[in-house]
Amino acid sequence: MIYFDNNATTPLDATVLDKMMPYLREQYGNPASRSHAMGWVADEAVIIAREQIASAINAEPKEIIFTSGATESVNLAIKGVFEAYNSKGQHVITVKTEHKAVLDTCDWVSRRGGEVTLLDVDKEGRVDIEALEEAIRPDTILVSIMWANNETGCIQDMAAIGQICRSAGVLLFSDATQALTKTPIDVQSSRIDILAFSGHKVYGPKGIGGLYVRSKSPRVRLMPLIDGGGHERGMRSGTLNVPGIVGLGAAVELGVSLIHKESSRLEALRDRLEFRLLHEIEDCVLNTTAHRMPHVINIRFLHVDGEALMLTFNQKLAVASGSACTSASIEPSHVLMASSLTEDEAHSSIRISLGRYTSENEIEEAFHIIQQGVQKLRSESPIWKMYKSGQLT
């Protein structure tokens, strides 16, 4: 199977697994054990991982908190700020195209008596900086804006957003799960106060993630979600997942070292696939073109259902569709709907996310699989025939 669904999850890099292995086998010490070498060795490994991650985003090692993944990090950031800054205000600003981890946690804020403003985005998926500025009120305690979107690859102007939040004295949290190791991140120059990330989106292991929490100017306070032994500066108790942490640190260090090489390689592969799709398949349109990550294509094919198209791939090609299955039905993607697409357009979209192991051959093969699928569905479609004969616009 050709795996073009790297925004859903990435494979574990073999060199990262090698670095984890000793901590899954013989080095099983608890880093909190201060009285023997088994503990010290584990603690040393955690210190190194913290340094690797901190240096990747221009932070201090003590500002990195380990969690079970980005969903937990997002929950800790938003709920933690809401609980700790309650007396200052209860207003949170976020964006309609955020990941469900953020939107659902913001629903929790509303249920707890807080107020949430959901900003719109333009056709390219970007937040309007002036609209953000206008939305900030005296009781605003947090702005939550993702760095890069998982569905469209759209990258926000975090430097401009950071400037506005800092001058307004409002904390800025960014879900950077899709951005870390894909695009350069500097929490100082972008004035980020809290930043979430995850191991399995960066060729690291699943079940590990982290949160950058600024320690000075300003010092961010977070109410913990999990109480216990006071690990991670009291913000996240529980024995540390040492193999996961070692893997996360190694994956982030490796990913950042490859950023420039991989961005240009993936951009060339993406452009090649995109060129063929756009030039050799009729009525196909890119959903985002500007400000996007180099490995993501979100594209739609007129009068073709994305879910049906994926079925034609017969397990030879893995991509994601512009629809999301909920318990009751298939809903159009909230991200595409917020980016001014119609329901039909969202349902006719697919997301292609290339990755570290994508080859030129796979690009060619995937193009043919997609082309054949679109042709097959259109040849069977009465609507397409009506459209082609001019009976539809």
Ligand X SMILES: *Cc1c(COP(=O)(O)O)cnc(C)c1O
Interaction between residue 182 and ligand X (CB under 6 A): no
State the residue for tokens 């119609």: 342
Quote the CA–CA distance of 164 and 133 in Å, as a whole number.
Answer: 7
Return the number of the residue (85 or 173) whose C-beta is nearest ligand X.
173
State the residue for tokens 């991200």: 335
Give the interface segment with ligand X, choosing from 154-162, 173-181, 355-363, 369-377 (CB under 6 A): 173-181
Return the number of the residue (69 or 244) whose C-beta is nearest ligand X.
69
Return the number of the residue (149 or 358) whose C-beta is nearest ligand X.
149
Q: Which of 198, 241, 349, 358 binds ligand X (CB under 6 A)?
A: 198
221 to 280, contacts with ligand X by CB under 6 A?
none
* φ, ψ at 375 (rounded to 5°): -60, -45
Distance of CA 156 to CAs 95, 98, 135, 211, Å? 11, 11, 17, 19
SS3 367: helix
CB of 360 to ligand X, least distance (A): 26
Residues 6+ apart with CB under 8 A from 276: 367, 371
Give yes or no for a contact between 224 and 80, defined as CB atoms under 8 angstroms apart: yes
Give the interface segment with ligand X, choosing from 63-71, 81-89, 121-129, 341-349 (CB under 6 A): 63-71
CB of 68 to ligand X, least distance (A): 8
Interaction between residue 19 and ligand X (CB under 6 A): no
Active-site residue flag, 325: yes
- The DSSP call for residue 344 is H
Interaction between residue 177 and ligand X (CB under 6 A): yes
CB of 244 to ligand X, least distance (A): 11
Interaction between residue 156 and ligand X (CB under 6 A): no
Beta bridge partners of 65: 211
286 to 345, contacts with ligand X by CB under 6 A?
none
SS3 233: helix
Give the interface segment with ligand X, choosing from 111-119, 124-132, 170-178, 278-286 (CB under 6 A): 170-178
Quote the CA–CA distance of 49 and 44 in Å, as a whole number.
Answer: 9
Give yes or no for a contact between 298 and 153, defined as CB atoms under 8 angstroms apart: yes
- The DSSP call for residue 128 is P
Total of chain residues touching ligand X, rule CB under 6 A: 13
Interaction between residue 201 and ligand X (CB under 6 A): yes
Interaction between residue 204 and ligand X (CB under 6 A): no
CB of 100 to ligand X, least distance (A): 8
SS3 328: coil
Quote the CA–CA distance of 92 and 112 in Å, as a whole number.
Answer: 12
Q: Which of 46, 65, 101, 220 binds ligand X (CB under 6 A)?
A: 101
CB of 44 to ligand X, least distance (A): 26
Return the number of the residue (74 or 93) whose C-beta is nearest ligand X.
74
Interaction between residue 373 and ligand X (CB under 6 A): no
| x-marked contacts with ligand X along 70-99 as a string, rule CB under 6 A | xx---------------------------x
Both tokens of residue 72?
Answer: 């937990």
Quote the CA–CA distance of 251 and 342 in Å, as a whole number.
Answer: 38
Quote the CA–CA distance of 176 and 112 in Å, as a whole number.
Answer: 26
CB of 278 to ligand X, least distance (A): 26
Residue 353 backbone zone (phi > 0: left; psi -120 to 50: alpha; other: beta): beta
Residues 6+ apart with CB under 8 A from 172: 142, 143, 145, 161, 162, 165, 166, 191, 192, 193, 194
Return the number of the residue (292 or 378) whose C-beta is nearest ligand X.
292
CB of 319 to ligand X, least distance (A): 15
Residue nearest to ligand X (CB): 69
SS3 318: strand
CB of 146 to ligand X, least distance (A): 6
* φ, ψ at 45 (rounded to 5°): -65, -40
Give the interface segment with ligand X, choosing from 42-50, 51-59, 171-179, 382-390 (CB under 6 A): 171-179
By CB under 6 A, name the binding residues for ligand X: 69-71, 99, 101, 146, 150, 175, 177-178, 198, 201, 209
Residues belonging to the active site: 325
